[in-house]
């Protein structure tokens, strides 16, 4: 009996050894990359399983089997916060408001405790892919936009001194480039002279995505940096059409009076009218909405059409 037990134990050891060796051999058969790699084989297997489930679903549909119940999604308004829902009740659904009414309503429907931005969103009948319809310009709002703008000037030292006197927060020559090389950006608007634009070329990936790269259309590449600084500090804003043919702009803060916001809005709409491309044959302005940063949108009358 003892001999039989020893043999059985030996057989189990042999089987265990064979299993381990088999696992090692299996592991070693995978390549590091390519079609024979473990990752690729697992992906192929998962895709085969997905296709099999797809065929089963299709066969079930052809056989007339009923699907499961369609999931019920709550309306968007119910997924909003309590303060937003209360504010949205003040906006009459389907109504198109006059500008002064919309501004007054926007101030009432601001659900935040801070001074939010009053925004205008205008859908245009343009094709942004066409160069002549890619609208981009600047505008100085009569009452400013309520934001404290930090202006940086990259120009020769003599012009930098004038810019500093005009109110620029940063005005320097080569020292400014050293800060950019460190990745330091502590400004909201960058103004430079045409001769210095090539020096900023290598920082395009740093400045471009943040919308800080100087541009002649935005008035940030100019020989008169002193005037550009004063304009930026006075509330000069830039607006441009996006890929969906919509223009977004901040008209001021909820801390502004109704009259100030209406005056800023009228200045923006007058500027937008002047930017109509000659190649646009249909309606130029399709719809206009007013809203606060986190408040409900309010449709206003089409001042252009």
Residue 250: its pLDDT value, please?
A: 92
Please give the share of the chain, as a percent, with pLDDT higher than 90.
30
Residues 6 or more apart whose Cβ sits within 8 Å of residue 235: 140, 141, 143, 144, 145
Higher pLDDT, 38 or 249: 249
Distances (CA, A) of 90 to 105, 109, 255: 8, 7, 20
3-class state of residue 127 by DSSP: coil
The pTM for the full model equals 0.66
Residue 188: its pLDDT value, please?
A: 87
What Rg do the C-alpha atoms of the chain give, in angstroms? 32
Report, as an integer, the average pLDDT of 4-30: 52
């Amino acid at each position: 009996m003892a001999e039989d037990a020893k043999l059985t134990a030996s057989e189990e050891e042999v089987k265990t050894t064979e299993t381990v060796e088999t696992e090692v051999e299996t592991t070693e058969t995978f390549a590091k990359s390519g079609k024979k790699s473990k990752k690729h084989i697992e992906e192929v297997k998962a895709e085969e399983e997905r296709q099999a489930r797809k065929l089963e679903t299709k066969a079930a549909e052809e056989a007339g089997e009923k699907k499961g119940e369609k999931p019920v999604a709550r309306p968007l308004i119910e997924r909003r916060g309590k303060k937003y829902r209360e504010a949205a009740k003040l906006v009459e659904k389907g109504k198109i408001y006059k500008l002064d009414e919309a501004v007054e309503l926007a101030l009432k429907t601001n659900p935040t405790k801070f001074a939010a931005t009053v925004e205008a969103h205008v859908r245009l009948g343009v094709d942004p892919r066409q160069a002549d319809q890619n609208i981009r310009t600047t505008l100085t709002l009569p009452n400013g936009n309520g934001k404290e703008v930090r202006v940086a000037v990259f120009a020769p030292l003599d012009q930098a001194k004038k810019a500093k006197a005009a109110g620029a927060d940063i005005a320097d020559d080569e020292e400014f480039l050293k800060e950019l090389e460190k990745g330091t950006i502590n400004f909201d608007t960058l103004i430079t002279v045409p001769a210095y634009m090539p020096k900023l070329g290598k920082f395009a990936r740093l400045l471009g995505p943040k919308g800080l790269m100087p541009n002649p259309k935005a008035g940030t590449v100019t020989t008169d940096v002193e005037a550009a600084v004063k304009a930026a500090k006075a509330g000069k804003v830039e607006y441009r059409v996006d890929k969906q043919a919509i223009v977004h702009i901040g008209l001021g803060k909820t801390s502004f009076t109704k009259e100030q916001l209406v005056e800023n809005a009228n200045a923006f709409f007058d500027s937008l009218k002047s930017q109509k491309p000659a190649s646009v044959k249909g309606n130029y302005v399709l719809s206009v909405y007013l809203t606060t940063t986190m408040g409900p949108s309010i449709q206003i009358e089409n001042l252009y059409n």
